[in-house]
Chains A and B, each alone.
Chain A
Amino acid sequence: MRYYFSLQGKMLHRRFVEFGVQPLVGYALVVLVFIGLSLYLFNKIDFAAYLYVFFGLSSISALSERRRNEFLETSFSKKKYLATRTVENMLMALPFAVFLLYKIQLLLAALLLLAAMLMAVIRWRNSFVLSIPTPFYKRPFEFAVGFRKTLLLFLLALFVLFQAIAVDNFNLGAFSLALVFLICMSFYSEPENLYYVWIFAQKPHAFLFEKIRTALLYTTILSFPILAILIAFYPENMWILMVIQCLGYLYLSAIILAKYSAYPQPMSVPQGLLLGASFALPPLLIVTIPFFYKKSTEQLKGILG
């Protein structure tokens, strides 16, 4: 078991190196970002503690992937397998639990740790015979795949929306709209297998245009019901909602272009920082979108011809 965890450590170390970050700096950054986002969540949202438990459980569930667990189960004895899975689930849950304790949410922290232990024992069956239908069949793959992966998060966004209306909290409703955009942006966070770009008989600019067009169209399908409900309940705040919607479109376009500006490699740290700065300071998008577009066409030229 000790070797397994030291191997996991080495693999994480390598990921930082591949990303172009000194591992120590990387660990420090991860901790800082985690604390920063946690503080932000608790400051801005009324039901942050519940959301926080949800995010914690989502992170732990990533370790429950079927093939990964089958490999561990065949490699270790039953006792060692259960011990390994329990330890890694607890390690994943620990930062969330510690922060919940800091926020004096003792019961939720205890429940999260208990769920983490139980999730080590439960075997997930994800070989569904039937697939979840989506309205995104015409232009695969990002939304068809991403929607299925994050279905629970979309349900969460709807739950937040209904809570917002129930307690008459516009900010919470606006957050649910922003959450839909955040989820859609996550579909473009990782570079896809090279084959899935290579197959396209398109020039880089046409390829990028089509990717952005599809993303905007499908995000509209997902966000429009929330937008319409919010406008119906808060017509006086319509302009704020329109700003969120427009910014969402711009951020989405920026993240697609940023992804392909480094493709087939993952985004580098400077590119990530530039994108982050544009998100924090939207007027920067006037510069970063053309910049990422230019870089993307250069990167894709070698692949698409």
Chain B
Amino acid sequence: MINIEQLSKSFGTNKVLEDVNISFEKGKVYGIVGENGAGKTTLFRCIAGLESHTGHVSCDYDILKNHLGFLPTEPFFFQRMTGREYLQLLCIARHEKGQDFDVKNIFDLPLDQYAANYSTGMKKKLALLGILLQTNDYYILDEPFNGVDIQSNILITEIIIKLKSLGKIVIISSHIFSTLSDTCDEIHLLKNHRFEKKVLKEEFERLAKEMKDVTIGDKIERLGF
């Protein structure tokens, strides 16, 4: 379980998160939605311990980050580091030895080429593969489907479902609603610095319609087409 209590985060005078409270349970997949700038990535970075914050984040272990696989929105790769070296680095960082990267290269990535030269989708797949090889208990996937081809999208969806069946906690953000409805048990709407709404699977359709109505409003008419 991951438990978040009264988490708040500001950048200078800009308040991003305020008094966020939420619990994530084992064997469940959670979707986090919100507009651009709502604070999803900041929340993920706070949970991961990559941002300082007030409030409390706890889990079944003393140090959460040592059991967390974090897929950032835009993974960073050093110039002239191969995909294989990236996987090796992520594995030794978590004491995972003896992995056969060629066998586990499920996305058919060119592992001996420089990762920085990969396409956006390939970078995402490499970063995802890296945290999967670490065999974590918790996963935060920030936009895992972004820039990824349809075939890999299908594969990623199946991976998430498998992680759930293995009792892992998976937290995802995505701007593509269908990817969340296919995988999540709950979707939480982040708005005005905190979670404003929690929606269970049976209500996903209603949420999608509600979001569409609110988002579109009269904006298309305002363009004057």
Q: Which residues of A contact B (CB under 8 A)?
A: 127-132, 137-141, 144-145, 148-149, 192-196, 198-202, 302-303, 305
Please report which residues of chain B, range 73-88, place their CB below 8 angstroms from some CB of chain A when the two chains form the complex: 75-76, 78-82, 84-86, 88
6 tightest Cβ-Cβ pairs between the two chains A and B: A201-B66, A305-B63, A140-B85, A199-B93, A148-B80, A140-B89
Q: How far is it, in angstroms, between the C-alpha of A129 and the C-alpha of B82 when the chains are bound? A: 11
- Residue interface bits B114-133, CB-to-A below 8 A is 1, else 0: 10010000000000000000
A144 and B85 form a contact (CB under 8 A): yes
- Check if B88 sits within 8 Å of A137, measured CB to CB: yes
Q: Are B82 and A131 in contact (CB under 8 A)?
A: yes
CB–CB A131/B80 < 8 A: yes
Q: Judge if B166 is at the interface, Cβ distance under 8 Å.
A: no
Residues of B within 8 A of A (CB): 48-50, 52, 62-63, 65-66, 70, 72, 75-76, 78-82, 84-86, 88-90, 92-95, 112-114, 117
For the complex formed, measure the closest distance between the CB of A136 and the CB atoms of chain B, giving whole angstroms. Answer: 8
Q: How far is the CA of A138 from the CA of B62 in the complex (A)?
A: 29
Please tell me if the beta carbons of A141 and B113 are within 8 angstroms of each other in the complex: no
What's the Cα separation between A107 and B88 when bound, in Å? 48
Evaluate contact between B93 and A201: CB separation under 8 angstroms: yes
Interface centre among A138, A140, A305 (most CB of B within 10 A): A140
Distance A193 CA – B79 CA, assembled complex (angstroms): 12
A302 to chain B, nearest CB (A): 8
- Which A residues are in CB contact (< 8 Å) with B84? 137
Name the residue in B50, B81, B93, B113 with the highest tally of chain A Cβ atoms < 10 Å from its Cβ. Answer: B93
A-B contact pairs, 6 of them (CB 8 A): A131-B82, A141-B86, A141-B89, A195-B76, A198-B65, A201-B65
* Nearest A residue to B94, CB-CB: A201
Would A200 and B112 count as touching, CB distance under 8 A? no
List the B side residues contacting A131 at CB < 8 Å.
Answer: 80, 82, 112-114
Given contacts A127-B117, A130-B113, A144-B81, contact A138 B65 (CB under 8 A): no
Q: How far is the CB of B115 from chain A (nearest CB, A)?
A: 10
Provided the pairs A130-B113, A198-B48 are in contact, do residues A141 and B81 lie with their beta carbons within 8 angstroms? yes
A139, A149, A193: the one contacting B76 at CB < 8 Å is A193
Interface-central residue, A132, A139, A149, A199, by most chain B CB under 10 Å: A199
Q: List chain A residues, Cβ under 8 A from B80.
A: 131-132, 144-145, 148-149
How far apart are B91's CB and chain A's nearest CB, in angstroms? 10
- A127: shortest Cβ distance to chain B, in Å? 5
**Min distance, Cβ B127 to any Cβ of chain A, angstroms:** 9
- Taking CB atoms, residues of chain A closer than 8 Å to B112 are 130-131
What are the residues of chain B within 8 A of A127 when measuring CB–CB? 117
What CA separation (Å) do A192 and B113 show in the bound complex? 21
Q: Determine the distance from Cα of A239 to Cα of B86 in the docked complex, in whole angstroms.
A: 40
Contacts of A138 in B (CB 8 A): 88, 92
- Tell me, rounded to whole Å, the shortest Cβ–Cβ distance linking B159 to chain A: 20
Supplied contacts A149-B79, A201-B93, A305-B63, 19 more A-B pairs, CB within 8 Å = A130-B112, A130-B113, A131-B80, A132-B80, A137-B85, A137-B88, A141-B85, A141-B89, A144-B82, A144-B85, A145-B78, A149-B80, A195-B70, A195-B76, A198-B49, A198-B65, A199-B94, A201-B95, A303-B49
